[in-house]
Structure 1
Amino acid sequence: MNIEPSLQIKYDELKKYLSSLNSVAVAYSSGVDSTFLLKTAVDTLPRDNVLALTAKSHSFPKRELNESIEFCKSENIRQIVFESEELSIDGFSNNPPDRCYICKKELFSKIKGIADENNINAVVEGSNADDINDYRPGMRAVSELEILSPLKKVGLTKDEIRALSKQLGLKTWNKQPFACLSSRFVYGEKITVQKLDMIDKSEQLLLDLGFKQVRVRIHNDVARIEVLPNETERVMQFKDTINSKLKEYGFRYVTLDLGGYRTGSMNDSLNI
């Protein structure tokens, strides 16, 4: 691969670190970071020493689950898909500010259990160096359960992971960032299966219409659509389709956020 020297150093450090773990279970969501981490692990360690673990739940879109399965099959990676229904966790559906912590504590506890059953030494997840500055209460669970974050440890940023993914020929190198569907709710609004389904269908519609980066935030019966600023005008080209379909899915009102897409916009309601 043709990698710039400074990035090659980080990549080599990552492989050295993974090699030192001997065997790993990768928390795999089919996103940019976890796909790169999984690929690097299977390229570094004996194939039987790498296990991909993917949670199936209402907060995880079917397209992401299917992509994870397809990737593991194409790379001949051992994968276990397990049920992890966040809505059954006490307190989660009330959507408190530490919702992500509640979910991740349960999720990674299950992952650790599966890893132990398969005689895997370490559980790793795909947080990167950019995540340090974001509000991510789920990282407290990662720390408490001693889950490892190799990409963060070697200082790889999102852009660097994309660059390395492109060099490795991974289709995910330019994939849109993704967060679980529960992150589309304003804190304090109850999370339900019906509303998660409304969001999933709405975002899939926008993706099918060709929008590259989308979020459909939910405020009771109001859909607040976020797209990239340069795609805002395109929304108006499909306004009738978007309006009618989202109302068919269950929204009463359909709005467009003029501020455009931004990660963690629901955190605006918190004093952090």
Structure 2
Amino acid sequence: MSSVSENANLLIDHLRPLGRVVIAFSGGVDSSVVAAAAALAGLDSAIAVTGHSASVPEWQIDWAKRIASQIGIDHQIVDTREGERASYVRNDSKRCFYCKQTLYQTLATLAVRYDGAVILSGTNADDLGDYRPGIEAGNLASVKTPLADLGLGKQDVRELARHFKLDNAELPASPCLASRISYGVAVTPDRLDRIERAEAWLRGQGFSDLRVRLHADELARVELLPSEQDRLRENRLAERMNQFFRSLGFQFVTVDVEGLRSGSLNQVLVGFDLTRPSTSTSTGTAR
């Protein structure tokens, strides 16, 4: 087993021959480790690019700015406009593919401006074992995945983040807001905004890692760490949460007793054809 310093040198050496890179930079731990290694590799140029759209909460944009500044890498924020694509809005099982395809098309335009720079993502080795249609979009766009290529998984990446002394080394993973919406329910700016505000409210009450999932009929399903679920029963917090969520436009609110589970919406993919339109794609919001 390699030490963290050996993995750091391995990653830096892996990037050095690339010369010029454009990094798909969310501000999360994975892409931050790639950006930090690129900055240390002495490349001709390295730029971190953060996609901005309604599916990206503002706190993540703030983290991206903060970490890029800490690393000392050039940073750009670009509008990706995936919400203008009908294939993305309808939210079938390939939604992530269409989203990433839009992002990588934007990055490809930037790469040409930087003398044919190589596009990099923060995909790690453990991501390859999950349902990730976005990885397919990256493969088609010739995006390089240095962490996965070197066999570095989630735990390795966390260790590297600590090794590079990144401020987000302990930051929980937080996929885009669209990933909270159940397949077949249309992705709309209103729904994304409600999810962002609902999750911000929960964080404001002191909850740490969490998700607010949106299902058909405007049902909000809250996933919290099992160790934090009892807090909802204290000081009428569950009642306050229910009132606030309903004021946002959610019609039903429930707490998942199984707790936080990454990718829990993918469970419905087994045995279902979710590339077909659903009857739950209304874009309206009952208030």
1:145 aligns with 2:141: yes
Q: Please report the RMSD computed on the Cα atoms of aligned residues, expressed in angstroms.
A: 1.5
Which of these residues, 38, 42, 49, is aligned with residue 39 of structure 2? 42
Show the counterpart of 1:11: 8
Cα deviation 1:123-171 (Å, max 9, x = unaligned)? 1000101111100011111111100000001111111111121122112
Show the counterpart of 1:112: 108
On the 8 A contact 1:23/1:45 being kept in 2, the answer is no
Cα deviation 1:51-77 (Å, max 9, x = unaligned)? 011111000001101111122234332
Cα deviation 1:173-203 (Å, max 9, x = unaligned)? 1111111111111111111110000000011
Distance 2:71 2:194 in 1: 33
Show the counterpart of 1:216: 212
1:232 aligns with 2:229: yes
1:187 aligns with 2:183: yes
Structure 1 segments of 4+ aligned residues over 6 angstroms from their partners: none
Which of these residues, 55, 59, 64, is aligned with residue 60 of structure 2? 64
Name the SS of the counterpart of 1:91 in structure 2: helix
Show the counterpart of 1:266: 265
On the 8 A contact 1:184/1:217 being kept in 2, the answer is yes
Compute the TM-score of the two structures, normalised by the length of structure 2.
0.89
On the 8 A contact 2:67/2:168 being kept in 1, the answer is no
The count of aligned residue pairs is 268
Distance 2:259 2:8 in 1: 33
Gapped regions of structure 2 (runs ≥ 5)? 272-287
Show the counterpart of 1:55: 51
Distance 2:3 2:166 in 1: 21
Summarize the Cα distance change of 1:5–1:152 in structure 2 as closer, same or farther, 3 Å threshold: closer
> Could you tell me the percent identity over the aligned residues?
31
Distance 1:231 1:183 in 2: 22
1:81-160 aligned at under 5 Å gives the runs: 81-160=77-156
Summarize the Cα distance change of 1:165–1:56 in structure 2 as closer, same or farther, 3 Å threshold: same
Which residue identity lines up with residue 255 of structure 1 in the other structure?
T
Distance 1:112 1:171 in 2: 29
Name the SS of the counterpart of 2:86 in structure 1: coil
Distance 2:182 2:61 in 1: 25
Cα deviation 1:11-55 (Å, max 9, x = unaligned)? 222111100111111100010101111111111124x61101111
Cα deviation 1:73-119 (Å, max 9, x = unaligned)? 34332111111122101311110111111111111011111121122
Summarize the Cα distance change of 1:204–1:120 in structure 2 as closer, same or farther, 3 Å threshold: farther
Show the counterpart of 1:167: 163
Name the SS of the counterpart of 1:26 in structure 2: strand
Distance 2:29 2:116 in 1: 23
Distance 1:85 1:234 in 2: 38
Which residue identity lines up with residue 58 of structure 1 in the other structure?
A
On the 8 A contact 2:4/2:159 being kept in 1, the answer is no
Show the counterpart of 1:28: 25
Name the SS of the counterpart of 2:213 in structure 1: strand
On the 8 A contact 2:35/2:71 being kept in 1, the answer is no
Which residue identity lines up with residue 45 of structure 2 in the other structure?
N
Show the counterpart of 2:281: none
1:207 aligns with 2:206: no
Show the counterpart of 2:256: 257
How far apart are residue 234 of structure 1 and its match? 1.4
On the 8 A contact 2:27/2:63 being kept in 1, the answer is yes
Which residue identity lines up with residue 208 of structure 1 in the other structure?
G
Q: Which deviates further from its counterpart, 249-258 or 71-80?
A: 71-80
Distance 1:254 1:85 in 2: 30
